Every structure is written in C-alpha cells, then in structure tokens.
Amino acid sequence: MTAAERWKEHARAELSRAGTRTGAAREAVVAHLGDHDCCLSAQEVFDGLRADGRQVGIASVYRVLDQLSDLGLVHRVDLGGATTRFERALPGGEHHHHLVCDGCGRVEQFSDARLESSLTRVAGSHGYALGGHDVVLHGECPDCADTPAG
C-alpha cells in the first residue's frame, strides 16, 4: 500500500470516528489531497476537482479542509502571501519542507536529514522538546534566476 493510499484510508477512518457526515465533497477532497505529495490551496483543490468533472462547491472544499485540519489530518502550510495551503499529515509523522520562488510562485518540496537533526538539536539546547516545525525557503527558481531583468 502506498503512502497516499494509507493516508486516504487513515483520513476516512478518522473522519468516521469523529462522527462527521459522509458525502461526495468530503470523499472527493480526501481523494484529491491523497493523490498530491505537496501542498495545495483550497482554490487548487477546487480547480482540480472541477477539472476531473466533480461538481463540488468551493464552500464545501473549505469546510472539508477545515475538518481535516481540525482532526490533524492535514497541515496548514504558510508559504507567505495571503493564500493558505494544505497538505496531508502522514500518520507516521513523515514530512518535507518547501522552497518557494518569489518570482513565479513555484513551490518545491525537499527533505534533509541533517536539517532535521539540527532542528532537534537547537530546540533541545533551549530546553524544548520539538513537537513540529515548518521550514520554508524563499528565493528564485532556476527559471526565474536565468531570466534577465526587463
């Protein structure tokens, strides 16, 4: 079973355990998020569902994302700007971080074991037990860096 399939199964079980209503919108959002490794805005989820022929309203997408967030099934990811993004929270705690291009808005994920170790060490040196963290690096992607200023 893939990580995406495990997350979808886990999310469905947790939503059911929480007593939330079942419905087409909820299932569509869970399936769509499960198929994406990186963060999406509510608008991107909505647009993706509509492109797949799903008749889901934007308010339903927001409502489902709020439910998933409240249950700890998705993380809210702040990449700067006014748009909140959401990404699945894997049951085992596996995660990644983000590179954001300030030129075109491109978002890429990255993982780095040494960074994780350093973050744990820094938190511990200040007496903190690290519970979670977000790392977002801003800059220019290769495409924007190669574009002459005009």
pTM: 0.80
- 49 neighbors 42 (Cβ within 8 angstroms): no
Measured CA to CA, the distance from residue 44 to residue 38 in angstroms comes to 12
For strands 107-110 and 40-41, give the pairing.
unpaired
- 54 CB-near residues (< 8 Å, 6+ apart): 24, 28
Domains of the chain: 1-91 (1.10.10.10), 96-150 (3.30.1490.190)
- Give the model confidence (pLDDT) of 53-83 as tens digits: 999 999 999 999 999 999 999 999 888 877 8
